[in-house]
Amino acid sequence: MNWRSSQGHGVHRLNQSGDGADFMTFRNEKIAQASTHVLSKGVADITMHVSALGLSVWIAAKARLRLLLIS
């Protein structure tokens, strides 16, 4: 008999024996999923910042080149 209840902060899952091993497996799966999500979000944030920095450097270099060509 497996059941899940999302009351309060935790999600509880028990197996028939009630030893808690199934709950620990479920908990570890959720921690792994959360860690993967945080890691992928962090990589996306870093990529976005690097792209923005690269774009601003490109715009500044282009403006400087324009100034050099004008003078």
d(CA 27, CA 6): 13
Domain boundary assignment for the chain: 3-70
Tens-place pLDDT, residues 11-69: 455 445 555 667 677 777 888 887 777 778 888 888 888 888 888 998 999 999 888 88
CA 71 to chain CA mean position, Å: 48
Sequence-distant (6+) residues with CB within 8 A of 1 are 14, 15, 16
Q: Is the pTM of this model over 0.75?
A: no
d(CA 3, CA 69): 72
Instruction: Give the chain's end-to-end CA distance (angstroms, integer).
Output: 81
- Please report, as a single letter, which amino acid is at residue 68: L
